[in-house]
Structure 1
Amino acid sequence: MKKLLTFVAYYSLCLPVFAADLTIYTYDSFVSEWGPGPQLEKAFEAQCQCDLEYIAVEDGVSILNRLRIEKDRTKADVILGIDDALIEETRREGLVIPHQQPLNGLKQELQWQDTDFLPIDYGYFAFIYDSQKITTPATSLKQIIESDASIIYQDPRTSTPGQGLMLWVKSVYGEQADQAWQQLAPHTVTVTKGWWEAYSLFLKGDADYVLSYNTSPAYHVVAEGKDHYRAAQFKEGHVAQIEVAAITRTSTNPELARDFLAFLISTEAQTIIPTSNWMLPVIEGIELPEVFDQLIAPERIGFTPTEVAQQRRRWIKEWRSETAR
């Protein structure tokens, strides 16, 4: 018995010592082997002597849906991957606390003042196409909706890009949005739960266009050496997405969670994110591959988070009604 106890004590000393655990709810592509999650985890754990655990769902809207179900029973210390269009609905759940991070280091163009949600990256929703197949791409949202081009996009009930398209259609069509959904439905190949499923189908050649981001072509150039995937720029403008992180009210390690949020907007983390999550950094001074200079830079249109919170359920109901016909 004495030998066994000695062995256990020795073995315990050989194990890594973690000060605490931190559980982060995010989306599946974030934690994939090519996403930023693994690199960020390694870098932060080296600083904090803690153990990060990611729990991933299909997409950003699914994070909010899970929080609504779990409420005070949530395991999350941090939520990462909802966007600015969802912050008011998330705040209303009463499950986040102030991040206590300085905002003066963020890009001025973001005009970020929120004290509960911290931006981690941003981009613009865009339709991606293969320029080897489509030589004359659509130049407006109305043109693509009123065409017969095959489209894949994501469900606005579970996906932030899908929600982005809903806001985009509403911004351009207003009270005629129901007619736009009717026109889009016949040439919609499928509506997926999340971004990765939709983009994978597009890369297999299942559609002419897929809803993604203006930054998506950068991935193909940097990671694959392919420059034929392009983002169509629309004259009406594009809806922006700012992805955010927040600390849950029920976090058992709020100070460690704040340290993690501070890390997310550090130079080290912001250097990792653009070429792994393929979005734009939220702080100045991050050196990016040259292809980022060639991305479309759309005019920003859309709604405030408060406007989205007030109308989101009605707009989703409208989308469901018209696409189910």
Structure 2
Amino acid sequence: MKKPLMLAACLMVASPALAEDKPVLTVYAPDYFTSEWGPGPAIEAGFEKSCGCDLRFVAGDVLPRILLEGDKTAADVAIGLNTDVMARARATGLFAPHGEDVGRLTLPIAWTDDIFLPFDWSEIAFVYDKTKLKNPPKSFQELLDAPADAYKIAIEDPRSAISGLALLLWVKAVYGEKAGEAWEKLAPKVLTVTQDWSTAYGLFTDGEVDMVLSFTTSPAYHRIAENDDTKVAAIFPEGHYFYTEVAAQLKTSKQPELAQKFMDYLLSDAFQGMIATANWSYPSIIKPGFLPEGFETLPRPEKTLFFSETEAEALRGPALEEWRAAFGK
């Protein structure tokens, strides 16, 4: 999940000397994932302790790259997809069953899928600084009804960022056929639409905007890493849209045994126990001790909103047109 201060992306590639005589597991991941502040370095170190392999992350737009490469893809595993793009990923026929017991998951929704494996989750939310924004909206409707100059907000473009797509579906889940009207009310308060989450969050931390589209778990980073409790997620009674990241192994993998070991690792105590502070989100399996102080006190919405992958794919086109109409694009 895209988290605070992950503003630099890099390709995590082990040196040839270290990788000599070791099998290579190639994992396609989002840019943020492999950054210095992302979960990639910790995952790489943790998995390589037991796999006897060289784990290599290839950073970029995961699904578009796999769609382009097809069955010639070099990926053994794809990580960092979410439910709103799963239908398109599944339609490729390129992914293999994960082989995991999903009955162990502690998600706020039921999960039965045998291809895509959730490894973390949160809900999307507007995050603000309580020392700077004295009267934050107490509901989605209050946000919409506020004067045009009441807030300066940064959101992500739904055409390039899956967090932006999640916002489209959040608005659709709350307002249904009146989603277009909701966008017309929200648009004047949106100062900028960015290509990715990192840029939007950077504008927020730099003080350029009052609120940013992020996650209910984003304030945990500031609390734990910076000892700063001023960043808060606005919790709305209308509910918040569920956002989970998933991984899947490729049928075309040249290292199928290693790929399966990696899927096993994603639900291991070692992985799930570090995900809260490695990726600033809830682990998909929560056990005692997995949530550090600063996480357990995060406010949670009373209502979790969610569209299945089929529903999300069907709604994506119409919802995008409503968004474009409001923003004149």
TM-score when scaled to structure 1? 0.90
User: In the alignment, is the contact (CA less than 8 A) between 1:239 and 1:302 conserved in 2?
Assistant: yes
- Partner Cα distance (1:286, 1:85) in 2: 30
Greater CA deviation, 295-304 or 260-269?
A: 295-304
What corresponds to 2:50 in structure 1?
47
The 3-state SS of whatever aligns with 1:107 is: coil
Unaligned runs of 5+ in 1: 1-13
Question: Shift of residue 56 of structure 1?
Answer: 1.5
1:320 equivalent among 321, 324, 328:
324
1:130 matched residue in structure 2: 129
User: In the TM superposition, what is the alpha-carbon distance from 1:120 to its structure 2 partner?
Assistant: 0.3
What letter is aligned with 2:82? D
Match of residue 38 from structure 1: 41
Greater shift, 139-148 or 221-230, is seen at: 139-148
Query: Counterpart amino acid of 1:313?
Result: G
| Amino acid across the alignment from 1:316 | L
Percent pairwise identity: 42
Cα deviation for residue 183 of structure 1 reads 2.1
- For 1:323 and 1:34, locate their aligned partners in 2 and report how far apart those are by CA, in whole Å: 32
Query: 1 or 2, which has the higher helix percentage?
Result: 1
Q: State the SS of the aligned residue for 1:294.
A: coil
The offset of 1:196, in angstroms, is: 1.1
CA distance in 1, matches of 2:52, 2:259: 13
Count of aligned positions: 308
Secondary structure of the corresponding residue to residue 201 of structure 1: helix
Question: Quick one: which of 206, 218, 225 aligns to 2:220?
Answer: 218
Amino acid at match of 2:214: S
Q: How does 1:99-118 map to 2 (within 5 A)?
A: 99-107=98-106, 109-118=108-117
Matches within 5 A, 1:145-164: 145-147=144-146, 148=148, 149-164=151-166
2:169 equivalent in structure 1: 167
Q: Which amino acid aligns with 2:316?
A: R
- How far off its partner does 1:157 sit? 1.6
Structure 1 contact 18–51 (Cα < 8 Å) conserved: no
Q: Deviations over 1:230-288 (max 9, x none)?
A: 00000100001111000122221122111001101111011221102100011131512
Q: Distance in 2 between matches of 1:318 and 1:93?
A: 28
Q: CA deviation at 1:184?
A: 2.0
Give yes or no for the alignment of 1:20 onto 2:19: no
Which moves more between the two structures, 192-201 or 16-25? 16-25
Contact 2:107 / 2:284 at 8 angstroms: preserved in 1?
no
Larger Rg: 1
What stretches of structure 1 move > 3 A for 4+ residues in a row?
Answer: 14-19
Q: Shift in Å at residue 310 of structure 1? A: 1.9
Pairwise CA RMSD of aligned residues? Answer: 1.7
Which residue number in structure 1 is paired with residue 279 of structure 2? 277
Residue 292 of structure 1: SS of its match in structure 2? coil
Write out per-residue CA displacement over residues 116-144 of structure 1, whole angstroms, 9 at most, x where no aligned residue.
00110001101000000112211112222
Comparing 268-277 with 69-78, which one deviates more in the overlay?
A: 69-78
Structure 2 gaps of 5+ residues are: 1-16
Whole-angstrom distance in 1 between the partners of 2:201 and 2:180: 25
Deviations 1:22-52 (A, max 9, x none): 1111112221112211011011112111111
Contact 2:272–2:286 (8 Å) recurs in 1:
no
Which of 304, 311, 314 is the matching residue for 2:315? 311
